[in-house]
Amino acid sequence: MTEDAVSRRRARPGGGVLRSGTSPKTGRARALNAPRAALVETNAAGVPIVINRQQVALIREEWRVVDRWWTEEPVYRRYFDCVLAGGMGVVVFHDAVRGGWLEQKA
């Protein structure tokens, strides 16, 4: 395949080349490792014991984030870096402002 053919493959309709890490529809950067809703069961202390129907084998670390408290959108989160029974690592956090649990890949 010629270099010209490779360039045409990557080109967007209407001209221009789509840059890595941008959305094809908007041209804006997309979030990497964006948090997703998680199904979390906790013990009485609020520590995760089951995440998305998988047992938590180990909690490697716990930390809290309190930020932007002076704004209209403060951040109060409690994070847990966990290892599930199958060996997969996952970070979950409880968002105290919006309520609910979210997960990110470790």
54 and 95 both lie in a single domain:
yes
Tally of domains in the chain: 2
Rounded Cα distance between 34 and 94, Å, is 15
Provide CB contacts within 8 A for 58, sequence distance 6+.
Answer: 82, 83
Given a contact cutoff of 8 angstroms between Cβ atoms, the answer to whether 82 and 48 are in contact is yes
5 and 15 both lie in a single domain:
yes
48 and 84 both lie in a single domain:
yes
13 and 46 both lie in a single domain:
no
pLDDT (tens digit per residue) in 60-82: 999 999 999 999 999 999 999 99
Its domain, for residue 10, covers 1-30
24 and 62 both lie in a single domain:
no
77 and 46 both lie in a single domain:
yes
Number of Cβ atoms within 10 Å of the Cβ of 50:
15
Q: Is the pTM higher than 0.85?
A: no
Q: How confident is the model at residue 33 (pLDDT cuts 50, 70, 90)?
A: confident
What is the C-alpha R_g of the chain?
20
